[in-house]
Amino acid sequence: MTRLLLVSLLLAIVIFQIQGEKIPIHEGAGWEGLSLRGISEGFMEHFDDEGYDAFLVHRILPFALVNMVFGLLEFDMDPESLLHGILILNFLFLLLGCYWYFRITKKLRSSTKMEILGFALMFGTFLVLKLSWYEPFSPALFAFVLGIGQVNYFVRYEKTKLFLVSLLGGFVWPSLFPIGMMLIFLPNDKVIFKEEKDKFQIPYLFPGLVLGVLVVLASRFYGTAVGVFDYLGIALGLGFLILLITLALTYSGIDWRRSMQLFQKKIKAERLTFLLISVASYFVVIYLLAVGKSDFSFQSFLIGHFLHPVQRPLVFLTSPFSFYGILIPLTLVFFSRISREVGKLGLGFTLVFLIMLMFGLYSDALWWTNVIPFLVLLILKGLRRYTLLTKDIWVLCVLNVLLSKAWYQINTDGLSEALVEHPQAFPAQRYLQHFGLLQSDGVYVVYLAVLLLVLGFIFLGKKRYAKAPSG
């Protein structure tokens, strides 16, 4: 009954959004969506004539599927019809995501309260409740759902199905296939935890300092800072980033030195070879299929991961917070418990989790879309040892839906012109406020303040939760 209620509430909001506003750029396709809609209009014709660049090949599957279905049923392939087609496909994928989610909670034997909280964290977000219907020609929802599928088959130890989902995901989102292969081939032995209480050690500074050097180099070669305040903002952002990395390593509860030694001992040459060959083969296939040069380059990667995260203090947290809501502060407050659950899932999963966190530094929250199901898994496992009050669960759920802005009207007079001419002002910020560095200074300050308030609310509420007996 609870599951039916949750799905009904979700679908009621989604159906309302499907019938609602669409981005007023290229007839509802948006900017990147215009090329993806072109795949739906003439997949094979364009593939034979001009081909697709690597960016599009990585995301080609859902839109090629729409093209094949429309061709088979002899539907008109005008922009309005294709918009309806991709909305239907998004809706069907969302139902698949719900099915996989409840399979996960069944495997974990989650309580009803935890199932409700996990459902709200998984689906009550800007990505699911708003963006996927406002700008439907985006692969983000498909990547998100396939990420749920990876989590489902990982916790069930069904490696064949995990491989198939990851293989399909390789043509939906670039990180889905490598993550799947690492989960399959890396060792699943548990990491080693510290015996003593959490205590700072000098080596815990090294990762942050190395990142600091990379930030300085990226700023030197690719930076656009011109004034004292620009450099001051970068310095503050870098300081907060180094501090968070050091605290994470200190309070994770993992004995990193001994765990690395165990990893070296357990990794087998044969499995490592299979991992490297499979991932290399995937990128070779992408390279062979791709034609022309993608707009996303190695320089873009360096700027995104080593400069964008520090251009504003904590922007790498405010951006995903605007997309995924309460999940971000919950992860921070319960990071120690979550880290232990990461370690229990194995050495391979721990390495994957660290790579996920690295990609989380990119200030475009869409990069994290396939990682969110893994964070929800860790919340479900990490918080089950706490006695959560029912009213607190519902407060968090309602707060998350409010933060999703499903109720917020984006379109207004002059929005399409403002998105091009005045992106740092309203009304353009009605849409761009969710996208990290595209936020105006005022919007960034508001999101940072709300994030800190929610962090304090959850941290104070944590003290009310009585730990359940460990036995």
Terminal Cα-to-Cα distance of the chain (whole angstroms) = 30
Give me the pLDDT at residue 17, please: 94
Residue-wise pLDDT tens digits, 67-82: 999 988 888 889 999 9
Specify which residues 193 forms β-bridges with.
254
> What is the residue type of 300?
S
Structure tokens at 36: 């993806």
Specify which residues 254 forms β-bridges with.
193
Q: What is 284-338 written as a DSSP string?
A: HHHHHHB-S--S--HHHHHHHHHTGGGSSTTHHHHHHHHHHTTHHHHHHHTHHHH
Query: What are the b/e assignments for 281-306, b being 16+ CB within 10 Å?
Result: ebeeebeebbeeeeeeeeeeebbbbb
Residue-wise pLDDT tens digits, 11-42: 999 999 999 899 999 888 988 889 999 999 98
> Comparing C-alpha atoms, which of 319, 318, 309, 314 is closest to residue 223?
309
Give me the pLDDT at residue 36, please: 92
Residue-wise pLDDT tens digits, 347-406: 899 999 988 887 777 767 888 899 999 999 999 998 887 777 888 888 889 999 999 999
378, with CB counted inside 10 A (0-12, 13-18, 19+), is buried
Give me the pLDDT at residue 217, please: 79
- Distance from C-alpha of 364 to C-alpha of 434, rounded to nearest angstrom: 9
- Distance from C-alpha of 380 to C-alpha of 119, rounded to nearest angstrom: 10
> Comparing C-alpha atoms, which of 369, 236, 367, 371 is closest to residue 305?
367
- Distance from C-alpha of 80 to C-alpha of 96, rounded to nearest angstrom: 25
Q: Where are the alpha helices (DSSP H) in 43-78?
A: 43-49, 54-57, 61-73
Query: What are the b/e assignments for 122-150, b being 16+ CB within 10 Å?
Result: bbbbbbbbbbbbbbbbbbbbbbbbbbbbb
- Distance from C-alpha of 448 to C-alpha of 441, rounded to nearest angstrom: 11
Residue given tokens 């081909």 in the structure block = 51
Give me the pLDDT at residue 200, please: 74
- Distance from C-alpha of 170 to C-alpha of 176, rounded to nearest angstrom: 6
Give me the pLDDT at residue 23, please: 92
Domain limits of the chain? 2-467
Length of the chain: 471
**8 Å CB contact between 126 and 324:** yes
Q: Where are the alpha helices (DSSP H) in 79-223?
A: 79-108, 112-123, 126, 132-134, 140-155, 159-169, 176-185, 206-222
- Distance from C-alpha of 458 to C-alpha of 83, rounded to nearest angstrom: 40
Give me the pLDDT at residue 439, please: 86
What 3-state class would DSSP assign to 455? helix
Residue given tokens 């479900």 in the structure block = 380
What 3-state class would DSSP assign to 386? strand
Give me the pLDDT at residue 471, please: 37
Contacts of 355 (CB under 8 A, 6+ apart): 179, 182
Instruction: Give the Å distances, CA to CA, from 147 to 165, 192, 210.
Output: 9, 27, 30
Kind and range of the H or E element at 224?
Answer: none
Contacts of 132 (CB under 8 A, 6+ apart): 90, 94, 138, 140, 141
- Distance from C-alpha of 71 to C-alpha of 67, rounded to nearest angstrom: 6
Q: What is the block-wise mean pLDDT of the chain (471 residues), using blocks of 10 residues?
A: 91 93 90 89 79 88 94 89 95 97 95 93 95 94 96 94 96 94 91 78 82 79 67 82 86 85 87 92 90 68 75 86 92 90 91 84 82 94 83 89 91 88 89 85 92 90 58 37
195, with CB counted inside 10 A (0-12, 13-18, 19+), is exposed
What would you report as the CA-atom Rg of the chain, rounded to the nearest whole angstrom? Answer: 22
Structure tokens at 112: 């009803």
